């Protein structure tokens, strides 16, 4: 968060996070941040986050087109307007084991129901206490479905951005073992995102490695990637 806060200090707003989660984007010391989140429990944690699917972002028609975009809000199916962003700051899911829809052992589920104690294992489903919503990218392992879903979402996001918008995207590679006895393979998630945003008209300016304390439980715990990456880019040719 400190790296992002310093990075965006002079960036013009409004700022959009299309994968808002519990709303950490609203902790960057700005009053012009907006979020979109598909999970209602997480969207409800901040008043500046809309409960919706970011792939439903569209440009507003008519006289307000240069100021607002619209997104379908799930509760009633109506379109709600948010400001067109001058910047996108987000951390998407990586397609790693966090995407497992595992909810814990029967005993862990019992303890959670009785005491609120979470299972030791980490994951989006465990965090929610249920499987993620059907439209969520958080159910996909890194692969064709993951790539297709994020391409659809980020195409919609790019289309509503104002000219010369800035981007700070936090993402990370990871290691995966697909079969017993197989050597762990690195999933090149950062490369996918760099190629995706470049194909949509974003010009990558730099990659900032950020050392973080990674979870050390589970498979490949000794092969955690040492740093996450913040991809900094600017949109060219937008209108």
Domain ranges in the chain are 2-95+153-235
| Per-residue model confidence as pLDDT tens digits over 48-81 | 999 999 999 999 988 888 899 999 988 778 888 9
Please report where in the chains the tokens 């809000």 appear, as a residue. 73
Average pLDDT over residues 172-177: 89
Strands (E), the chain: 15-17, 33-37, 49-51, 58-59, 68-72, 79-83, 87-91, 166-171, 174-176, 185-187, 202-211, 227-235
Coil, strand or helix: which one is 158? Answer: helix
Contacts of 59 (CB under 8 A, 6+ apart): 65, 69, 70, 84, 159, 160
Lowest mean pLDDT among 4-8, 151-155, 203-207: 4-8
pLDDT at 215 over 50: no
Q: State the architecture of 2-95+153-235 in CATH terms.
A: 3-Layer(aba) Sandwich (3.40)
* pLDDT bucket at 224, cuts 50 / 70 / 90: low
Mean pLDDT of the chain: 88
- 80-130: pLDDT as tens digits: 899 999 999 999 999 898 888 878 788 888 888 888 888 777 888 888 889
Residue 14 preceded by cis peptide, ω within 30: yes
């Amino acid at each position: 968060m400190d790296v992002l806060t310093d990075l965006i200090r002079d960036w013009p707003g409004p700022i959009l996070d299309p994968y808002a989660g519990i709303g950490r984007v609203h902790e960057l010391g700005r009053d012009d941040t907006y979020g979109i989140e598909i999970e209602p429990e997480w969207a409800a944690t901040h008043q500046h986050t809309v409960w919706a699917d970011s792939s439903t972002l569209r440009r507003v028609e008519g006289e307000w087109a240069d100021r607002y975009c619209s997104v379908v809000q799930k509760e009633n199916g109506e379109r709600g307007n948010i400001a067109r962003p001058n910047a996108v700051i987000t951390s998407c899911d990586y397609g790693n084991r966090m995407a497992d829809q595992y909810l814990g052992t029967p005993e862990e589920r019992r303890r959670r129901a009785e005491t609120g104690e979470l299972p030791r294992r980490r994951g989006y489903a465990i965090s929610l206490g249920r499987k993620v919503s059907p439209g969520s990218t958080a159910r996909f392992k890194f692969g064709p479905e993951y790539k297709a879903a994020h391409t659809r979402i980020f195409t919609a996001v790019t289309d509503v951005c104002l000219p010369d918008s800035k981007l700070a995207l936090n993402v990370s590679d990871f290691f995966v073992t697909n079969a017993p006895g197989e050597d762990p393979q690195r999933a090149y998630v950062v490369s996918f995102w760099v190629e995706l945003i470049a194909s949509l008209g974003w010009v990558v300016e730099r990659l900032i490695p950020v050392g973080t304390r990674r979870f050390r439980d589970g498979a490949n715990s000794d092969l955690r990637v040492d740093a996450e990456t913040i991809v900094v880019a600017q949109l060219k040719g937008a209108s």
